Structure 1
Amino acid sequence: MLTSSAVLVILTAIVCGAVAAALTGWIRSIADSDSRWLRSGLPVGLAAAGGAGAAGLAGTVPELVAFAALAVACGLLVPIDLAVHRLPDVVVVPLYPVLLATLGVAAMVTGDWGALGRAAAAALALLALYFTLAFINPSGLGLGDVKLAGVLGLFLGWLGWYYVLVGTLAAFAINAVVALVLLASRRANRHTGIAFGPAMIAGAAVAAWLSVGD
């Protein structure tokens, strides 16, 4: 089993931040944007923070690899979505085999095959939920959000069904708060599109934080 320590947390944060820094030019290219969100240090900061969280959450080396990879990807996806309201397949889709493979190895190490089955079931459940919502309201959710939902379902499902529920509800609550703030500050109106990916990732982070120590 992996023993969490301050050194491991710091090292993982540094590695994740460094990987995000190395990919910053690439994400500007795939986003085809020079937005301030992509020119800032946001991708690096988010990836580093996620890496620290990954080290604190993981109980095995395969889990650490899975959570750290997700942290880097989310650190890249948040600023892309804020900049261009897209969650590129080239970042999201590879997370499926990466998480399934690493969590599969984690299940072999721990013998907890139920967690892997739960993760797969949660991914399918969130894919179905978000696809339905996107079908009903395509202006509110896109297929990128649907694909990301499946990835986050794998992660949250590995932690437990309670965290799938918490992470999903938190995403919608966070998005609602952001929308209200933007409306109140007159920086948006009822027809303004708001990137939902960041709220989904923030909701998953809240659920993961609550799971630490359980």
Structure 2
Amino acid sequence: MTLPLPAAAVATALCCALLAALLTPWARRFVVSESRLLRGWVTGPLAGLGGVGAALVTSSWAELVAVAVVAVAAGLLIPIDLVTYRLPDVVVGSAALGLLAGLVVAAALGDDWSRLLTAVLGGVALFAVYLVLAMISPSSLGFGDVKLAGVLGLLLGWWGWQAVAYGTLAAFVVFAVGALMLLAARRTSLRDDLPFGPAMILGAALGLAAVAA
């Protein structure tokens, strides 16, 4: 029996939040920080919000699982990047494998292999774009951002090239707005580096929301 959308959203949010909270001690093994942000009470709610979004934009259980995997990873990666300016390969790589596996199953169930191909091409394209940007300005983007771009491109590509374009543009807008707000509040300066991963994740979420609305 298919759950009604509100029930599915709540159930997915709770599962994502619980899983992210349980995985937080594991993820902390790959970074050097004792920040209070790297706790389950932060990662859990972030993943839970992603779980709600996953339930709203997906139409099959395989899609839901695939996007929920990214939501859990996002709940871990956002505070880690904010605190340490790092995106651990093991978290990003696990998200990529889980997302790809879920999309392969979704493509098989819907006999929609062209959609999977677009998703893979979206991942490759966004990886290449960020790689070029990182080579041009290595002080602004790290290779962790490049690898995360590949994952988010795979996710956005499942919903088409418009989603890839929207999600990419939204990431830079979110980053610019956040930087301006921090400058206005005197919490940073033009000389300081800022993590780009959280803006990439939020931008991808906004891109999905735009095309799925």
TM-score interval, smaller chain: over 0.9
Partner of 2:32: 32
Partner of 2:195: 195
Partner of 1:142: 142
- Distance in 2 (alpha carbons) for counterparts of 1:210 and 1:135: 30
- Distance in 2 (alpha carbons) for counterparts of 1:166 and 1:60: 23
- Distance in 1 (alpha carbons) for counterparts of 2:36 and 2:193: 18
Partner of 1:180: 180
Once the two structures are TM-superposed, the CA of residue 212 in structure 1 deviates from its matched residue by 2.5
Q: Secondary structure at the match of 1:189?
A: coil
Partner of 1:64: 64
For the Cα contact (< 8 Å) 2:22–2:40, is it kept in 1? no
Once the two structures are TM-superposed, the CA of residue 26 in structure 1 deviates from its matched residue by 2.0
Q: Give the letter aligned to residue 69 of structure 1.
A: V
For the Cα contact (< 8 Å) 1:145–1:197, is it kept in 2? yes
Once the two structures are TM-superposed, the CA of residue 33 in structure 1 deviates from its matched residue by 0.8
**Aligned residue runs from structure 1 range 156-171, under 5 A:** 156-171=156-171
CA-atom RMSD in angstroms: 1.5
Structure 1, unmatched stretches of 5+, are none
Say whether residues 1:76 and 2:80 are aligned partners.
no
Say whether residues 1:153 and 2:150 are aligned partners.
no
Say whether residues 1:207 and 2:207 are aligned partners.
yes
- Distance in 2 (alpha carbons) for counterparts of 1:3 and 1:141: 41
Say whether residues 1:123 and 2:123 are aligned partners.
yes
- Distance in 1 (alpha carbons) for counterparts of 2:164 and 2:135: 21
Partner of 1:133: 133
Partner of 2:105: 105
For residues 35-93 of structure 1, give each alpha carbon's deviation from its aligned partner in whole angstroms, at most 9, with x where no partner exists: 13214722111100111111111111110110111100011000000010000001001
For residues 94-113 of structure 1, give each alpha carbon's deviation from its aligned partner in whole angstroms, at most 9, with x where no partner exists: 22222222101111111211
Q: Secondary structure at the match of 1:31?
A: coil
Give the share of equivalent positions with the same residue, in percent: 50
Once the two structures are TM-superposed, the CA of residue 209 in structure 1 deviates from its matched residue by 1.4
Once the two structures are TM-superposed, the CA of residue 3 in structure 1 deviates from its matched residue by 6.1
Distance 1:153 1:127, change over 3 A: same
Structure 2, unmatched stretches of 5+, are none
Name the count of aligned residue pairs.
213
Q: Give the letter aligned to residue 196 of structure 1.
A: F
- Distance in 2 (alpha carbons) for counterparts of 1:148 and 1:61: 24
Partner of 1:46: 46
For the Cα contact (< 8 Å) 1:123–1:150, is it kept in 2? yes
- Distance in 2 (alpha carbons) for counterparts of 1:2 and 1:138: 47
Q: Give the letter aligned to residue 102 of structure 1.
A: G
Say whether residues 1:18 and 2:22 are aligned partners.
no
Partner of 1:7: 7
Bigger Cα displacement from structure 2, 179-188 vs 31-40: 31-40
Q: Give the letter aligned to residue 124 of structure 2.
A: L
- Distance in 2 (alpha carbons) for counterparts of 1:2 and 1:135: 47
- Distance in 2 (alpha carbons) for counterparts of 1:48 and 1:140: 29
Distance 1:188 1:9, change over 3 A: same
